[in-house]
Structure 1
């Protein structure tokens, strides 16, 4: 007779992947229990389905799930969302009395891991968290002045509903609405996660992922993701946390990775199945099935099975869930469609689950108006934060000693360098590690091995100079006349991770060197860290105010914290929308420089 597993609640995008994993690896029937009407009630993956329209935070929910488990003779209950893990673990005794096991950590452990205040204190010595303040009531709002904007206000529950602020005033207004809450310094970087099924602090199976597209450009659940990420530092971080908590069960460590400093900042722990569980399951990392095995047959059996899994690397696209982008950034959704068509088995448009797909599409189209309203609120919030940047921009315009700092590649010019080939050469020379970027290698070697740093810089320079043979007039991303006009109002400095020789040659060939007062590169004796290059520009220019244009959002955020007036150079609408939500202008370099010239023209009339 087949075993039986309850999955609850299946009214979640994660539930199909959980059921598929269990059915593909184990000889079990999967019974789905939903708390509300949902497209997954039409999925062929579940052998039986139940619907109980009750709040999951009430005691009715675990009792109803327990009754279904007893009725169907199911030995294991697998929770899906955080509220399922919390409530079902809280009522674990009831489930046990009815002959079922809840495949979840202890309720006390879930409560600690999900407490954003206590967990950061508990793990501070093994993990790096963003600088934050717990605001118990609006009376304590002044504590945020020890933080440096941009700031993020988060709720204390599982759904933190973060809001983003470029200034203190809007942050305090949000605190008045939401206290008690947490205020963190915003961390720009790459969204990465570490997943584990662990027993007593020892991982049974691990996986890492990187988000490519999120629910909103500023953050949220994955809509396109890839994995595993091979960075050993991310695995080491996750394992330290598991050991410290002596964790048993599934967990996700959500991080933002700073490529400039090589740090993974822990944003929060999720003691539940993660929103991108489809990705790991599709690639052969069967966390749900192994979770069942661990609770039925023990951790060692689960570990033995994990070692036999055929795993691979890849991507997953939630193209149906991503339909919300049709009214936000259509190009982002077409990007998802293209990926889904290129590999339909790695998308949520499950080819054999036609009824579920159809109902999900209908539901998505019915949400279009709601998504339009939410997007309007997103843009309104962006507009509200922009005023802080405008205030700085006015200071820049009014000062007599000003400097405009340009990054070079992808900001002022488009260098015709085949970076993928260059990186392969550097890796073969042992100068770049397999999992790191060229930028990370430069920063790492600057502080650990200066001789290798200079060797890396020399090889890069050879490749960059060779590529300049393909440089053309179209490589310049700003009209030469714009640069000429800008130089009449402000001194111009180039702060680049190219060498000075390469930058000088590029500027000469494109006929703009005469408008640039100084060039600072990775070989200027101060290293490759971008904020240091900006500071050197300001020092050489003797400027009291500086405007920075760069194509890297991490550098732009750091520039704002340094007191500069930054702008993100990009022609990618998704990246532009992300920057705008923080209140920092973004767009193609030509458009940004045109706006600066307009401002300078108005400033000269006053």
Structure 2
């Protein structure tokens, strides 16, 4: 990866999603990447980013028209590679790739069947059960009735079978009465998966695969950064390595013949002394840019892999504690003297991106304030 490469032009066709920031910031660490963005959000805060060569707005249309817009942009700007950032964009490209005029410019992707297994929590649960991949026991409610046919002890974890960001809809259920109330209020438009609650701790694993083989991975465990309302590895975490977990993830990705990126949520069961797979997010993830600062730049490696460039494994990694931007602000609130450690802040938090791309940060703040005021 150290050899000088020619410039690579990348088109991100689902630039309306907020995961765009994480991917663009990761790619901005490489001087040979030129980023073009197609978005159905006219006023997205990322349109102001200095890291984006051109932000193209086009009103949301049907999937065929969206693909035709991609075709036009690929030819107009001589795009080398098409890479989406969020699962909706990934699925639309997998489903409609036959309509691309330059299919060789599309990033590596899994099959539609396996993608849909991965993104549906109950389909994934059944897949893991049939492939002997450790996962919490569970059952599904499709008709709004609670039927604990497997007699799993409370507490249970309830969640919609299709994804919602930031854990929306996920709830700890302590009794049958709680479960009935949860189902009565179900407004997610899908079935609900109930699973046993695992006593232990969370670990997230990120992968880049080709035909089921994991080429690059990172694992992160939540660190002690907290606020009064929640506690999350999204605020602060350490990168770790665990062979047992890697073997489990390897079996899972092979069973899905996975190609591309994915983020896998896992939990260590302190009673069974084993990791169990919770779910797969078949997309990029929050804090992708911190994986890049750690030493594994998934979006850039994805580009190199799809363009058949030689990829050499890294010899060393940044082993510090990493903080998200929110985690950094909370940490500085409790320990302002951390500001003195400028080298740490630069290498282990998103502060470098904020300083280099201030207009994006300002407009993101304005965008969030408008959303808060509109919901008040």
Query: TM-score by structure 2 length?
Result: 0.82
Q: Secondary structure at the match of 2:321?
A: strand
Does 1:29 find its partner at 2:34?
yes
Structure-2 change in CA distance of 1:50 and 1:184 (3 Å): same
Q: Considering fraction of residues, name the structure with more helix.
A: 1
- Give the corresponding residue for 2:362: 358
Structure-2 change in CA distance of 1:306 and 1:121 (3 Å): farther
- Give the corresponding residue for 1:476: none
Instruction: Give me the whole-angstrom Cα distance separating, in 1, the residues matched to 2:72 and 2:289.
Output: 28
Instruction: Give me the whole-angstrom Cα distance separating, in 2, the residues matched to 1:322 and 1:364.
Output: 18
Instruction: Give me the whole-angstrom Cα distance separating, in 2, the residues matched to 1:191 and 1:370.
Output: 34
Structure-2 change in CA distance of 1:370 and 1:241 (3 Å): farther
Instruction: Tell whether the 8 Å contact from 1:191 to 1:211 is kept in structure 2 after alignment.
Output: yes
Q: Secondary structure at the match of 1:307?
A: coil
Structure-2 change in CA distance of 1:357 and 1:25 (3 Å): closer
**Per-residue deviation at 1:355?**
0.9
Instruction: Give me the whole-angstrom Cα distance separating, in 2, the residues matched to 1:267 and 1:168.
Output: 22
Structure-2 change in CA distance of 1:4 and 1:126 (3 Å): same
- Give the corresponding residue for 1:307: 313
- Give the corresponding residue for 1:347: 349
Instruction: Give me the whole-angstrom Cα distance separating, in 2, the residues matched to 1:341 and 1:110.
Output: 45
Moved more, 17-26 or 43-52: 17-26
**Per-residue deviation at 1:29?**
1.3
Instruction: Give me the whole-angstrom Cα distance separating, in 1, the residues matched to 2:208 and 2:89.
Output: 17
**Per-residue deviation at 1:260?**
5.1
Instruction: Tell whether the 8 Å contact from 2:332 to 2:338 is kept in structure 1 after alignment.
Output: no
**Per-residue deviation at 1:30?**
1.1
Does 1:318 find its partner at 2:324?
yes
Instruction: Please point out which of 247, 259, 263 is paired with 2:274.
Output: 263
Instruction: Give me the whole-angstrom Cα distance separating, in 2, the residues matched to 1:322 and 1:58.
Output: 39
Structure-2 change in CA distance of 1:370 and 1:161 (3 Å): farther
Q: Secondary structure at the match of 1:171?
A: helix
Does 1:42 find its partner at 2:53?
no
Instruction: Please point out which of 246, 251, 274 is paired with 1:240.
Output: 251
Instruction: Give me the whole-angstrom Cα distance separating, in 1, the residues matched to 2:226 and 2:117.
Output: 27
Instruction: Give me the whole-angstrom Cα distance separating, in 2, the residues matched to 1:268 and 1:216.
Output: 27
**In the TM superposition, what whole-angstrom CA distance separates every residue of 1:121-155 from its partner, at most 9, and x where no partner exists?**
2222442211211112124x122672222222211
Q: Secondary structure at the match of 1:91?
A: helix
- Give the corresponding residue for 2:211: 200
Instruction: Tell whether the 8 Å contact from 1:7 to 1:80 is kept in structure 2 after alignment.
Output: yes
- Give the corresponding residue for 1:334: 333
Show the 5 A alignment for 1:151-166.
Answer: 151-159=156-164, 161-166=169-174
Show the 5 A alignment for 1:80-479.
Answer: 80-97=85-102, 100-124=105-129, 125-139=131-145, 141-143=146-148, 146-159=151-164, 161-178=169-186, 180-212=191-223, 222-227=234-239, 229-259=240-270, 261-297=272-308, 301=309, 304-308=310-314, 310-320=316-326, 334-335=333-334, 342=341, 343-345=344-346, 346-349=348-351, 350=353, 351-367=355-371
Q: Secondary structure at the match of 1:146?
A: coil
**Per-residue deviation at 1:208?**
0.7
Q: Secondary structure at the match of 1:256?
A: strand
Structure-2 change in CA distance of 1:4 and 1:182 (3 Å): same
Instruction: Please point out which of 50, 60, 64 is paired with 1:54.
Output: 60
Instruction: Give me the whole-angstrom Cα distance separating, in 1, the residues matched to 2:335 and 2:312.
Output: 31
**Per-residue deviation at 1:196?**
1.3
Structure 2: tracts of 5 or more residues without a match: 1-5
**Per-residue deviation at 1:182?**
0.9
Instruction: Give me the whole-angstrom Cα distance separating, in 2, the residues matched to 1:133 and 1:252.
Output: 23
Instruction: Give me the whole-angstrom Cα distance separating, in 2, the residues matched to 1:34 and 1:321.
Output: 29
**Per-residue deviation at 1:6?**
0.8
Structure-2 change in CA distance of 1:260 and 1:253 (3 Å): same
Q: Secondary structure at the match of 1:158?
A: coil
Instruction: Give me the whole-angstrom Cα distance separating, in 1, the residues matched to 2:357 and 2:89.
Output: 25
Moved more, 238-247 or 99-108: 99-108
Structure-2 change in CA distance of 1:207 and 1:154 (3 Å): same
Instruction: Give me the whole-angstrom Cα distance separating, in 2, the residues matched to 1:12 and 1:337.
Output: 33
**Per-residue deviation at 1:164?**
2.5
**Per-residue deviation at 1:157?**
1.3
**Per-residue deviation at 1:333?**
8.1
Show the 5 A alignment for 1:571-586.
Answer: none
Instruction: Tell whether the 8 Å contact from 2:109 to 2:258 is kept in structure 1 after alignment.
Output: no
When Rg is computed on C-alpha atoms for both structures, the one with the higher figure is 1
Structure-2 change in CA distance of 1:359 and 1:313 (3 Å): same
Instruction: Give me the whole-angstrom Cα distance separating, in 2, the residues matched to 1:221 and 1:95.
Output: 38
Moved more, 311-320 or 17-26: 17-26
**Per-residue deviation at 1:74?**
0.8
Structure-2 change in CA distance of 1:262 and 1:296 (3 Å): same
Instruction: Give me the whole-angstrom Cα distance separating, in 2, the residues matched to 1:47 and 1:276.
Output: 22
Instruction: Give me the whole-angstrom Cα distance separating, in 2, the residues matched to 1:321 and 1:52.
Output: 34
**Per-residue deviation at 1:309?**
6.2
Structure-2 change in CA distance of 1:344 and 1:62 (3 Å): farther
**In the TM superposition, what whole-angstrom CA distance separates every residue of 1:288-308 from its partner, at most 9, and x where no partner exists?**
1111122121xxx4xx42414
**Per-residue deviation at 1:16?**
3.6
